[in-house]
Structure 1
Amino acid sequence: MNKIRVTKHFDFESAHALYGYDGKCKNIHGHSYHLYVTVIGEPIIDSENPKNGMVMDFGDLKVIVKKEIVNKFDHAVVLNENSPHKELANTINEHSHNVVLVPYQPTSENMLLDFSERIKKQLPQNVLLHSLKLYETANSYAEWFADDQNRS
């Protein structure tokens, strides 16, 4: 087996607030997120296939991540729907702003868990999600690895 990992980088801007947090991040604030999506698989070996030699076409990966993540979260305010922030979201929405309500505290860690599920459902059968890295700031990021999910 010749497994190869390929990675594509995406950027998006989002604001969020952490309900109940004991620091500045309890306030609505924004980030320039950098998301790295790595998939793993065997390169296609079929000279008749236009994707010959590829694990996955970078363009196909781009379509998936743009649809599932970037187009939904870019320039949005992300708030926890299970907190009083839901009322704030309704007020913001009334003024035609993009609000994404999520069923979790919108930390980078929880966003990665959400993103991993969204992406995995869209990948071709022979390609697996290997890892995600989400930079919240230039020097702070969270990572998700498929291998870590199988450990007890």
Structure 2
Amino acid sequence: MSTIRITKQFNFETGHALYGYDGKCKNVHGHSYKLSVTVSGKPIKDNTNVKFGMVIDFGDLKKIVNEEIVDIFDHATVFNKNTPHVELAKELQARDHHVILVDYQPTSEMMVIDFAEKIKNRLPENIKLYSIKLQETDSSFAEWFASENK
């Protein structure tokens, strides 16, 4: 049977700041992110299976991505914990803000790498992560492809 790719799209709002950056993005700001997750696999052949004909149930993929990314990053502010931004993060947390501290500069490029790892770890064995596209503005996005990251 043919290998098929399916894609599910997600939206979430996240703030961040890029420590040490020489432009406006050094300031805390936010984006309306659009995340596209593409997986590949073979449709289920067993006609007694309730998911007959599916590569993966879109609902199952949605559950994985929501639990690993959307529910965590939506309306959060992300900072690199290895920079002085950690002090700002502590202040925001003390004021009951949702802050995420990561081990990387929270650029779209680094976030998409993080997201790929989180999603890959949750997919069923027979389903492969094909690509992820993280769009931070109408004209700017980062992409991750499994074929380039073996």
Measured against the shorter chain, the TM-score band is over 0.9
For 2:77, the equivalent position in structure 1 comes to 77
C-alpha distance in 2 between matches for 1:88 and 1:40: 41
Superposed counterparts of 1:1-152, under 5 Å: 1-150=1-150
C-alpha distance in 2 between matches for 1:149 and 1:13: 27
C-alpha distance in 2 between matches for 1:54 and 1:73: 29
C-alpha distance in 2 between matches for 1:105 and 1:141: 16
Helix, strand or coil for the counterpart of 2:62? helix
1:8-58 CA distance string (max 9 Å, x none): 000000000000000000000000000000000000000100000000000
C-alpha distance in 1 between matches for 2:56 and 2:29: 35
C-alpha distance in 2 between matches for 1:144 and 1:69: 15
TM norm structure 2: 0.99
**Structure 1: 4+ residue segments shifted above 2 A:** none
C-alpha distance in 1 between matches for 2:108 and 2:69: 13
C-alpha distance in 1 between matches for 2:58 and 2:93: 34
C-alpha distance in 2 between matches for 1:71 and 1:78: 14
1:98-152 CA distance string (max 9 Å, x none): 00000000000000000000000100110000000000001100000000013xx
C-alpha distance in 2 between matches for 1:78 and 1:38: 24
- Percent of pairs identical after alignment? 61
C-alpha distance in 2 between matches for 1:6 and 1:68: 19
Instruction: Show structure 2 runs of 5+ residues with no match.
Output: none
- Count, aligned residues: 150
